[in-house]
Structure 1
Amino acid sequence: MIQTITDKSKYAYEWLDILDPDEEELKSIAEKYSLHPSSIKDWLQSDHLPKYENVGNYVLIIFRIHCEKLAEEADTIQELTDKVVIFLSDERIITLHKKEWKAPAKIRDNQIEKHDCKNTLDVVNEIVKNCLSTYEGPSAKLTEDIEYYEQNMFLKNRKPALLKGLYYLRRQTEVTRRIIMLSHEIIDKIDSPEHTNTHTRDTRDLYVKLHNIYDTLFENMNQLVMIYFSISSQRTNEIVRVLTLFSVFFMPLTFIVGVYGMNFDYMPELRMKLGYPGVMILMGLITAGIYAWFRKKDWL
Structure 2
Amino acid sequence: MEQLSTSSRLTRLDNLHLTGEHRPVSDPLADLRRAATLRIHNGVGLRPVPEELTETVLRECWQMRRQRAFWLDLTAPTPAALQAVATLFGFHPLTVEDALSPEHRPKIDEHEDYLFMMFQSVAGISDETVLPTVGVGHCATNRLAVYLGVGFLVTVHDRGFAPVEEVAEIVDARDTTMDQHLDLVLHAIVDRMIDQVFPVLSGVEDRIQEIEAHIFTEQDQDVLPTVLKTKRELMTLRRLMGLQREMLLRLSRREDLPCIEAKTAIYFRDVYDHAVRLEETCVMLIELATNVAEAHLAVASRRTNEVMKFLTIFSTIWMPLTFIVGVYGMNFDYMPELKVWWFYPFLWVVMIGIVGGMLMFFRRKKWL
Give TM-score scaled by structure 1 length: 0.91
State the partner residue of 1:150. Answer: 212
State the partner residue of 1:89. Answer: 149
Amino acid at match of 1:75: T
Deviation at 1:246, TM superposition (A): 0.9
Q: Is the deviation greater in 134-143 or in 164-173?
A: 164-173
Structure 2 residue matching 1:128: 3-state secondary structure: helix
State the partner residue of 2:325. Answer: 257
Deviation at 1:16, TM superposition (A): 1.1
Question: Relative contact order (C-alpha < 8 Å, sep 6+): which is higher?
Answer: 1
Per-residue CA distance 1:57-87 (angstroms, 9 max, x = gap):
3211111111135372433476521111111
Specify whether residues 94 and 78 from structure 1 end up closer, same or farther in structure 2 by C-alpha distance, changes over 3 A only. farther
Instruction: State whether residues 248 and 271 of structure 2, in contact with CA within 8 Å, keep that contact through their aligned partners in structure 1.
Output: yes
- Paired residues for 1:45-124 under 5 Å: 45-68=101-124, 70=126, 72-73=128-129, 74-76=132-134, 80-108=140-168, 110=170, 113-116=175-178, 118-124=180-186
State the partner residue of 1:23. Answer: 79
Instruction: State whether residues 53 and 61 of structure 1, in contact with CA within 8 Å, keep that contact through their aligned partners in structure 2.
Output: yes
State the partner residue of 2:240. Answer: 179
- Paired residues for 1:248-287 under 5 Å: 248-287=316-355
Specify whether residues 272 and 56 from structure 1 end up closer, same or farther in structure 2 by C-alpha distance, changes over 3 A only. farther
Instruction: State whether residues 144 and 157 of structure 2, in contact with CA within 8 Å, keep that contact through their aligned partners in structure 1.
Output: yes
Question: What is the alpha-carbon distance in structure 2 between the residues aligned to residue 211 and residue 14 of structure 1?
Answer: 34
Specify whether residues 159 and 56 from structure 1 end up closer, same or farther in structure 2 by C-alpha distance, changes over 3 A only. farther
Specify whether residues 117 and 190 from structure 1 end up closer, same or farther in structure 2 by C-alpha distance, changes over 3 A only. farther
Q: Is the deviation greater in 256-265 or in 189-198?
A: 189-198
Instruction: State whether residues 71 and 79 of structure 1, in contact with CA within 8 Å, keep that contact through their aligned partners in structure 2.
Output: no
Q: Is the deviation greater in 74-83 or in 118-127?
A: 74-83
RMSD over equivalenced CA pairs, Å: 2.2
Instruction: State whether residues 3 and 17 of structure 1, in contact with CA within 8 Å, keep that contact through their aligned partners in structure 2.
Output: yes
Amino acid at match of 1:81: T
What runs of 5+ residues in structure 1 fail to find an aligned partner?
none
State the partner residue of 1:40. Answer: 96
Instruction: State whether residues 20 and 97 of structure 1, in contact with CA within 8 Å, keep that contact through their aligned partners in structure 2.
Output: yes
Amino acid at match of 1:129: D
State the partner residue of 1:226. Answer: 294
- Paired residues for 1:158-177 under 5 Å: 158-177=219-238
Per-residue CA distance 1:181-215 (angstroms, 9 max, x = gap):
12122111211156464422221221122121111
Amino acid at match of 1:107: V
Deviation at 1:275, TM superposition (A): 2.3
Deviation at 1:150, TM superposition (A): 1.4
**What is the number of equivalent residue pairs in this alignment?**
299
Question: What is the alpha-carbon distance in structure 1 between the residues aligned to residue 204 and residue 225 of structure 2?
Answer: 15
Q: Is the deviation greater in 156-165 or in 219-228?
A: 156-165
State the partner residue of 2:9. Answer: none
The reply on whether 1:217 has 2:217 as its aligned counterpart is no
